């Protein structure tokens, strides 16, 4: 299914989008990747949604990526005797390890690891930052706090600790169970929550054992500080602005988003911008102007993908939300200013032969009448490097591996086509021309750029480029082989 845009759309599935008809409608409306949120839904529900996605993929002869988003450790207060209490600004409030119901003066925080690292002056944020507590005095089993921003605190509200790196693994026991479950199902991407350090990612990679690519969610200040090291060991990144906007001043989030997107682009790793992109469409068929501008800003930055969360999972208008994102992406990408921004933000890469090949492919496409860049890829490297260049023509990635094709659905501008294993470059040229014609990217009168790695079927060997006619008779006539 050919998209009329390069930016990809990730749609979260949930109660509003769990049957065949809606999932198919979402894909036809523009969803390229479906997110399975492991924080919600049983294994049986997740298994059924996975089955339906693959059924839609088969029925539409398409390629669909599946992203399983692990919950991560959740820090929550305990329960209150009356269910909730009102905390006034300036009041004192204690968090402790006592196994007793809370009141207006204290509540249980059943996480001793937090008390281990707390210091006077640290802030704790409750209920997405609506309540702010400042630690005045603390010990191994308590923290006496001053209420800096008051409000109603109720049972099991979430707690954020932005000022310290917590001695918590990114993978809880539930996450480990979920990881093994979705890897056996056959998901393409694993999203890791609560990443603070590169070791969190390497642990998940060892458990996944090559069965899924690893995407790190950047939602903690510690992850922003250690971003380069985290990026090195990740296959992709999600800029998860929800918790990031809670734990950091909100004005800090836009420049951080811009920096992270550019760093991901520079190293050819896909990046998703996520959270609250079309939040009002949970209940409204129309987004706000500010939300549209937010989505557009991420696309102008060159992000690989934008993501819908509750809008498609639990909202009243899931298909309309996907359609809105699709229309915004197509409108932005047709704006001449978009190309100016993309080209101005492109970094010159001086490295491997593969880097030189994909740069040459993009430059040839820009200076001649080339319709499409066809790249043959086994592990996905050639397609990722080509996508890094953000060419103004479509990228057609041909691969013999279904798993590689599905992973590439997250990458900017990449259209995936399954092909047979190849042994000669002429076969790559012929198959590229056939795919370009059959998918409507080029006609017999056009020329295409073909890149590949020889010998074939060895990842990371991109070393050959050819400009070829799209008509097979001309390909064979011009090739002495």
480 pLDDT higher than 50: no
| Residue 327 reports pLDDT greater than 60 | yes
Tens-digit pLDDT profile for residues 92-139? 999 999 999 999 999 999 999 899 999 999 999 999 899 999 999 999
Q: Give per-residue pLDDT as tens, 188-204.
A: 999 999 999 999 999 99
Give the list of residues 6+ apart from residue 407 with CB closer than 8 angstroms, or none: 65, 188, 189, 213, 235, 380
CA dist list (Å): 397 to 27, 57, 283, 374, 447: 20, 17, 38, 6, 16
pLDDT value at 344 more than 80: yes
> Fold for domain 84-160?
M1 Pyruvate Kinase; Domain 3 (2.40.33)
Tokens standing for residue 437: 């014609």
Global pTM value: 0.93
pLDDT at 399: 94
Any idea which residues carry the catalytic annotation? 35, 76, 217, 275
Q: Predicted confidence band at 474 (pLDDT cuts at 50, 70, 90)?
A: low
The string of pLDDT tens digits covering residues 381-394 is 999 999 999 999 99
CATH of 8-73+170-333, one of 3.30.450.20, 3.20.20.60, 3.30.750.24, 3.40.47.40: 3.20.20.60
Mean pLDDT for 291-318 is: 97
Lowest mean pLDDT among 155-159, 171-175, 287-291, 422-426: 422-426
Comparison of pLDDT for 170 and 473, the residue scoring more: 170
Among 3.40.1380.20, 3.40.50.720, 3.40.640.10, 3.40.50.10190, what is the CATH number of 353-477? Answer: 3.40.1380.20
Element (H, E) at 119: none
pLDDT of residue 456: 75
Largest pairwise CA distance in the chain = 85
Q: With contact defined as beta carbons under 8 Å apart, do 453 and 462 qualify?
A: yes
Which secondary structure element, helix H or strand E, spans residue 10, and what is its range? strand 8-13
Strand 447-453 relative to strand 370-376, pairing: parallel
Give the pLDDT mean for 432-456.
91
Task: Determine the number of helices (DSSP H) and then strands (DSSP E) in the chain.
Answer: 18, 21
Domain residue spans in the chain? 8-73+170-333, 84-160, 353-477
Residue 432, Cα to own-chain centre: how many angstroms? 28
């Amino acid at each position: 299914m050919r998209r009329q845009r390069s930016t990809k759309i990730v749609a979260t599935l949930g109660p509003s989008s769990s049957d065949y008809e809606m999932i198919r409608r979402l894909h036809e409306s523009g969803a390229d990747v479906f997110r399975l949120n492991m924080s919600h839904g049983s294994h049986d529900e997740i298994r059924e949604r996975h089955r339906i996605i693959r059924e839609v993929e088969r029925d539409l002869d398409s390629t669909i990526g599946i992203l399983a988003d692990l919950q991560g450790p959740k820090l929550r207060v305990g329960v209150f005797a009356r269910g909730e209490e009102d905390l006034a600004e300036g009041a004192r409030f204690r968090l402790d390890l006592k196994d007793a119901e809370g009141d207006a003066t204290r509540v249980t925080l059943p996480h001793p690891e937090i008390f281990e690292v707390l210091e006077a002056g640290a802030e704790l944020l409750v209920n997405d930052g609506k309540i702010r507590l400042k630690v005045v005095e603390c010990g191994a089993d308590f923290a006496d706090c001053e209420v800096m921003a008051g409000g109603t605190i109720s049972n099991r509200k979430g707690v954020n600790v932005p000022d310290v790196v917590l001695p918590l693994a990114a993978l809880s026991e539930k996450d480990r169970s979920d990881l093994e479950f979705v890897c056996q199902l056959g998901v393409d991407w694993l999203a890791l929550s609560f990443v603070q350090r590169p070791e969190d990612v390497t642990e998940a990679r060892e458990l996944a054992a090559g069965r899924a690519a690893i995407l790190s969610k950047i939602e903690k200040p510690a992850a922003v500080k250690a971003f380069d090291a985290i990026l090195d060991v990740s296959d992709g990144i999600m800029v998860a602005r929800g918790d990031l906007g809670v734990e950091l001043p909100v004005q800090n989030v836009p420049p951080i988003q811009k920096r992270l997107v550019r760093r991901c682009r520079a190293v050819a790793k896909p990046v998703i911008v996520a959270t609250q992109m079309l939040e009002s469409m949970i209940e409204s068929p129309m987004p706000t102007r500010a939300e549209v501008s937010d989505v557009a800003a991420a696309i102008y930055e060159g992000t690989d993908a934008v993501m819908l969360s509750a809008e498609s999972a639990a909202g009243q208008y899931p298909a309309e939300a996907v359609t809105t994102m699709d229309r915004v992406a197509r409108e932005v990408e047709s704006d001449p200013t978009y190309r100016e921004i993309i080209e101005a933000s492109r970094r010159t890469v001086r490295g491997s032969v593969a880097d030189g090949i994909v740069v040459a492919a993009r430059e040839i496409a820009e200076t001649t009448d080339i319709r499409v860049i066809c790249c043959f890829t086994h592990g996905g490297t050639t397609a990722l490097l080509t996508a890094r260049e953000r060419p103004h023509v479509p990228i057609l990635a041909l691969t013999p591996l279904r798993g590689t094709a599905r992973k590439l659905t997250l990458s900017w501008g990449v259209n995936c086509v399954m092909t047979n294993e190849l042994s000669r470059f002429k076969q790559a040229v012929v198959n590229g021309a056939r795919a370009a014609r059959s998918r409507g990217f080029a006609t017999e009168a056009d020329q295409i750029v073909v890149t590949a790695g020889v010998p074939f079927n060895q990842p990371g060997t991109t070393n050959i480029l050819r400009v070829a006619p799209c008509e097979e008779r001309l390909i064979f006539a011009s090739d002495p082989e």
